[in-house]
Amino acid sequence: MRSITFSIALRYSRTKAYSAFTRFIQRFALGGIAVGVMALIVVMSVMNGFEGELKQRILGGVPHIQVQGEQVHSELTTLLEQRASDEIQSISPYVSTEALIQVPGNLAVVTLQGFNTGDSKSQSIPPALQRALIAGQWSSLAAGDYNIILGQTLANQLNLAIGDRVRIVSSKGAVYSPLGMLPSQRTFRLVGVFAMQSDLDKHLAVANIDDVARLIRNPKASKTHVQVQLQDAFNAPKIASFIRSNSTLIVTDWRQRYGQLFDAVSMEKRMMWLMLALIIAVAAFNTLSALAMVIDDKRHDIAILQTIGLTQAQVRRVFLIQGCYIGTVGTLLGTLFGVLIAIFINPILQALGSHFVVGLGQQLPVQFEWQQVLFIAATALILTLVAAFYPAAKAAQTEPSEALRYD
């Protein structure tokens, strides 16, 4: 059986007996909460999608952690056995160097990565990079053939086609001669092109690990350098720190190169959250105005209820419940419409003829984090409840003798 306070609060929330302006303020407060929650869910889902796309298209093509040292394979394998098995995707040999790629009349700076390109069991090329191949085959990168695969943007910039030869020059492995320092260099043949649709297409080149080791004149590099691929690249700093603190191995992770980019994206997400949360806060505190006007309309009713036995605590609860009613309905509507709009945002944009995403598959990326959606809804409810405290307390202080003096 419902309590008397709940029944009165529900009746006050649904009644149309208020003045037209009071009803407008109530609906405005409810609508403001709904719009704020909806906007925050849609925007944060799209921001999560953009972050996910960056994570896949950039971090999916590079080693998450690079480790260097003597006996690195056995030492690292033993060390990582202490971590949860679902954190680590693979551990494999890896060699990398900054190099200059040269063709007649043009040149560019590249990061040359050497992977094991043998059979599927021993292949160490990151899965996202494997899937991004649009011309050629990874198996063409056989040891000793000095073949190379370039990013699409880089290949177009150098005006290269499959089968063309390029010169790779690296300062690693340079030797001194009477003429001065001579960098290490080799001629490679282009056998494939990949398209990660990110900055990697401009400066990444991939070759066989043994060919890269010979280029830098360090044939044992594959035995002293390994890469660690993780299930979640964002765990790399934590795991890299664990390896450093428990060994003498030299450890670097993807944040050394791409950390600033993802820090900027994270800061943008936090600022968007703050700005849109302020919309919810303003709408929630409109509840204060709405309840204050309801209380002014119902002063006589409050006084009569007090004379027949309703306590101050019960009066306070009536209007707290009414404030919660506004917040709950607004939050539920905002969550429902926010989730629906986020799911169907691309068809909606197409119907409106809007094109916001050029170069991202022509669709806006959306990624839900349900914990985030629940947190947004809970925040809106808490803010509404806080805003309802003051007018509810004022209603409880109504003096029946004053309110009914002239009646």
Confidence of residue 225 (pLDDT cuts 50, 70, 90): confident
What is the Cα–Cα distance from 260 to 254, expressed in whole angstroms?
Answer: 10
Q: What is the pLDDT of residue 309?
A: 74
Confidence of residue 358 (pLDDT cuts 50, 70, 90): very low
The three state secondary structure string of the chain is CCCHHHHHHHHHHHCCCCCHHHHHHHHHHHHHHHHHHHHHHHHHHHHHHHHHHHHHHCHHHCCCEEEECCCHHHHHHHHHCCCCCCCEEEEEEEEEEEEEEEECCEEEEEEEEEECCCCCCCCCCCHHHHHCEEECCHHHCCCCCCEEEEEHHHHHHCCCCCCCEEEEEEEEEEEEECCEEEEEEEEEEEEEEECCCCCHHHHEEEEEHHHHHHHCCCCCHHHHEEEEEECCHHHHHHHHHHHHHCCCCEEEECHHHHHHHHHHHHHHHHHHHHHHHHHHHHHHHHHHHHHHHHHHHCHHHHHHHHHCCCCHHHHHHHHHHHHHHHHHHHHHHHHHHHHHHHHCHHHHHHHHCCCCCCCCCCCCCCCCCHHHHHHHHHHHHHHHHHHHHHHHHHHHCCCHHHHCCCC
What is the Cα–Cα distance from 140 to 192, expressed in whole angstroms?
Answer: 8
pLDDT of 16 above 70: no
Confidence of residue 400 (pLDDT cuts 50, 70, 90): low
What is the Cα–Cα distance from 43 to 36, expressed in whole angstroms?
Answer: 11
Point out which residues pair with 135 in neighbouring strands: 193
Share of the chain above pLDDT 70, in %: 87
Confidence of residue 360 (pLDDT cuts 50, 70, 90): very low
Q: What is the pLDDT of residue 30?
A: 85
**What φ, ψ does residue 56 adopt, rounded to 5°?**
-75, -45
pLDDT of 406 above 80: no
pLDDT digits (tens, 9 = 90+) for 52-71: 888 888 888 888 998 988 88
Q: Which two tokens stand for residue 182?
A: 């001579």
Point out which residues pair with 99 in neighbouring strands: 110, 170
As a whole number, mean pLDDT of residues 295-320 equals: 74
To which residue do tokens 């999560």 refer?
Answer: 48
pLDDT digits (tens, 9 = 90+) for 148-162: 999 999 999 999 999
pLDDT digits (tens, 9 = 90+) for 266-305: 898 889 888 888 888 888 878 887 777 777 776 767 777 7
Question: Average pLDDT, whole number, for the chain?
Answer: 83
Q: What is the pLDDT of residue 149?
A: 94
As a whole number, mean pLDDT of residues 92-113 equals: 90
Other residues' Cβ atoms within 10 Å of the Cβ of residue 245: 8
How many CA atoms lie within 13 Å of 31's alpha carbon, on the beta-carbon side? 6
More confident call, 85 vs 70: 70
pLDDT of 1 above 50: no
Whether 212 contacts 112, CB under 8 Å: yes
Q: What is the pLDDT of residue 78?
A: 82
More confident call, 396 vs 171: 171
pLDDT of 122 above 60: no
What is the Cα–Cα distance from 293 to 21, expressed in whole angstroms?
Answer: 9
Q: What is the pLDDT of residue 354?
A: 66
